[in-house]
Structure formats: structure tokens, C-alpha cells
Structure 1
Amino acid sequence: MRDASPLRYPGGKWRIAPFFERVLLLNRLAGSDYFEPYAGGASLALSLLLANRVTEIYLNDLDPAVHAFWYVVLMRNKDLRELIESTAVTPEEWIRQKEIYKKGRSAGMLAFGFATFFLNRTNHSGIMNGGMIGGKAQEGTWKLDARFNKPELLRRIKRIGSYKKRVHLSQLDAIDFLNHTKPSRDSLVYLDPPYYNAGAKLYLNAYGPGDHAAVRNAVRQLDAPWIISYDDVPEIRTLYRPVRSRRLRLLHTARSLRLGREVLFFSSRLRIPVYR
């Protein structure tokens, strides 16, 4: 299975899409609606949607840059693709896009969304403050366009656009999103909150211990079955005890960040297939 998302995220969750497909089948949730309060690159949600394992996906992210990107994918798809085709991937353009990104929505949604995409594809590990691949001198092995395969990215974006009637987008706090959408018992909620450790290096909206506890309390109130992923650290294990869990093995590419293993926690209603 290939990554369906145009965005790069450390530890992209598309690799566990086959496991989630088995979760859906085992729990008679195939064809249900699917909710992600922390959409980010939405690689797992898109993998399930494009494979028709779920009917509609509800993507939410509080980060205005992430929201702007998905907005233009859904609402300005052709304009976005034209920008990608016409924009040179150079250090000078990187500097220009960085300035647009800093302006946020005042630059316009299309410009802001494209700047987010451009920097995500040209920064180390896709991290917005990661610095440009290859540096300003572009003297290393990897050049700025190393992760900017235009034909493939255009293909992904065009395909996602064709599914826009089955994608719902919002920009809310994760708990507010759950309270607003009220996922039913016949849907699946997947939460991928900021890491407990190293979160400030990866996320605009990093969490403290109180935020993580609030998320735990929120999922306990859900009628819908849920799965939540975290970095596998003692603090999170203690917070979610005695919730059932499975260790998760993912390839992380975040430069110099030792993220360690991850863990999945499962709501009591879910039957858990073997993770391979």
C-alpha cells in the first residue's frame, strides 16, 4: 500500500492502514464513517477512504496551516495543481514561500495552503521549522526537490479532490470537534494527539500533561469505538491504564529525533485483530 497523502509527517500512519482495515472488518464497521480529530497528513484516513473501506471521513486539525492546505485540496483543487506545476523548487522560492507562510490567512487561503504544502515537501522530515533540505548552498547529497515529485503529488491531489463530497473538514480543538460531531456507535474514531515527549519539536500545538489527561477523559465519554496512538512512554501507559493496548512499530524519519516506539490503545467495545 502506498501513501495517499500529499503531506509528509514523521511516522506516517498509512503503514497501519491494513491493520485498521482488519479492525473495521472484525467489528462490522466496514463502510462506516471515520473521524480524525488530529488529521495532520490524514494518510490513514485517506488510505481507508480511497480503498472504500469507509464511506465518509471527518478531518479536523486546529493548526490553521494544515486546515488551509486541506481546504484548498478540497475547494481549490485545480488552482492548487496549477500552482504546483508552475512553481520552481529552488532555495529562492523556499524563502518566498516561507514569508507567505508567516503571513498566514492574510495571504489568502490558496497562497497559505500552497506555502504550507511547499514547505512540508521541502523541509527536513516535513517539519515546518525543520529547515530546507540540502541547505541554502544545496551542496549535499539531497537537494531541495528530493521529496517534490510533481507528477506523483499532482496525481494524489487530483484523486483526493474527486472524493471531496465524502470528506468533511473542520478546524476545531480536538475535544470540541468530538463534542460537535458526536460520532455514532457505528463509526470509528482515531486519535493521534501530539507526542508526550518531543511534541514541542514536531507540533505547533504541543500538549502538556493536563491536555493529555483531558483527551483521555474525552475518549472515555465517547459512544463510538475509538483507537488512540501515542509515543510509548511510562507517563502515557500510566494515564491509560488499564485500557487495552498494542505496541506499534513504525519507521520514523524525523531527523535527529529519537521518538521510540508507539502504542495503540483501544476502546472496550473493539475486537482487536492480530497486528502484523
Structure 2
Amino acid sequence: MNREGIPAKVASFIKNGENGKGITSRWYPETLRRRILAIAQVKHRINFIEGDAFEVCEKNANREDVVYFIDPPYRAAGQRLYRYSEINHEALFDLAYRLQGNFLMTYDDASEVQAMASRCKFETKLIAMKNTHHAKKTELVIGKDLTWLQN
């Protein structure tokens, strides 16, 4: 298991973990169990596609019955975190704008990202998160309608 699931070359296998707890220092068995069981309840509604995200989204852009989770490489830390980090962020926002179905996109909070979201009239919201070192940070959530996220 790569640390935090990051596929970058710098990520390594968990050996001792934090405080010698091994894999349980990063992955919590009861939480994972609950999440796996919850996914099992809706697995018939989930479809994972291995392929080029731009092509898949373009092919399905006119479908209103599709919901997309878009998690592109961060603009600032992408090269450090991901093996494949170079994408056309402007093109991604243009594509998301054309999607008939709903989507949820996550990004690092950068002025360029905020500007692209604003240009497309997408809603944005900062949410709290923790990084690998448990430092509190924020991540930008983007969508057509984020009213469900207000509470």
C-alpha cells in the first residue's frame, strides 16, 4: 500500500507507519469497514472507467443521468504528488461547463483555479482537510450547485 494512496515515485510502502502502528497509522479498520459496506449498497450505481477522463467526459457530456467526480492533479503540488500531473486545466473547466450531468470537482485553493471557476459561473466552497502530516489545510470544492454542502 502506497502512503496515502499517492502514486508518485516518491511515495513508498508503509513499513513502520507513524508511532510504529504500521498500516493502522494511516488506515482505520472500522472506518474502512463502514465505507466498504456503504459502497456495497450502491455498487450497482457506480461505474469505474479506466481511460482518458477528457474523452470519457466528452463522450458522455450530453447525459443528464451521469454524475462526475473530478479530482485533477493540484496545480501547485501536482508534479510532486502524481506521476502524471500535466493537464490542461482551462480545457478541464471548459469541459465541465459543457457537462449536462452534475459534477463535484476538488482542487487546491489557488487564485487561477478560483478565476476559472468564476469564469464558468461554478460555485466554490473551501472545506477543511488534513494533509499527510496532519496539518490542517483547506481544499476547494467546485460544482454547479453546492447547496447540499452548506451544512
Q: For the structure 1 residues 227 and 259, does the alpha-carbon distance in structure 2 shift closer, same or farther, using more than 3 Å as the test?
A: same
Residue 131 of structure 1 corresponds to: 12
Which has the bigger relative contact order, CA under 8 A and spacing at least 6?
A: 1
Match of 2:71 in 1: 192
1:251 is aligned to 129
Long gaps (5+) in structure 1: 1-118
Percent sequence identity is: 22
Structure 1 residues 167, 241: CA separation in 2 closer, same or farther (over 3 Å shift)? closer
TM-score, length-normalised on structure 1?
A: 0.43
Q: Match for 2:75: what amino acid?
A: Y
Larger radius of gyration: 1
Higher strand share: 2
Contact 2:68/2:103 (8 A) holds in 1: yes
Give matches, 1:146-225, under 5 Å. 146=24, 147=26, 153=32, 157=36, 160=39, 163-182=42-61, 184-208=63-87, 211-225=88-102
- Indicate which of 199, 220, 228 corresponds to 2:105: 228
Gaps of 5+ in 2: none
CA distance in 2, matches of 1:252, 1:246: 19
1:50 aligns with none
Deviation at 1:221, TM superposition (A): 1.8
- CA distance, structure 2, for counterparts of residue 244 and residue 234 of structure 1: 14
What residue identity is the alignment partner of 1:144? G
Query: Quick check: which one's helix share is greater?
Result: 1
Which letter does structure 2 place at the counterpart of 1:266? Answer: G
Q: Go from structure 1 to structure 2 and tell me whether the alpha carbon gap of 1:182 and 1:144 turns closer, same or farther (over 3 Å shift).
A: same
Per-residue Cα deviation, 1:229-274 (whole angstroms, up to 9, x for no partner): 2111012122233324333222223238x8942223333xx47356
- Asked if the contact 1:191–1:228 (Cα under 8 Å) also holds between the matched residues in 2, the reply is yes
